[in-house]
Amino acid sequence: MFPIINELEKQLEPEVRFRASSFGQSPNQALAELRKHTESLRNQVIHRRKFILAELAKTEASR
């Protein structure tokens, strides 16, 4: 359902690992944070879409 977000997450994984190592952080923890943030983005898209559709339905119903 989210091919662009999934692909972005996949492309960012090597960069996240590299940057975490460069800053003395755990690469696994950094990847976990990346996944948490991309999951949050997916949820935002879902809820925003529901909101927009509900608003459009209200607009159509009031006509």
Which domain range does residue 28 map to? 3-61
Read off the pLDDT band of 62 (50, 70, 90): confident
User: Which two tokens mark 26?
Assistant: 């755990």
Full-model pTM: 0.83
Task: List all residues 6 or more positions away from 49 whose beta carbon is below 8 Å from its beta carbon.
Answer: none
pLDDT at 51 exceeding the cut of 90: yes
Which tens digits make up the pLDDT trace of 9-32? 999 999 999 999 999 999 999 999
Mean pLDDT (the chain) is 96
* Total number of domains constituting the chain: 1
Per the listing, tokens 């809820």 go with 47
Give, as one character, the DSSP assignment of residue 25. Answer: -
pLDDT at 33 exceeding the cut of 90: yes
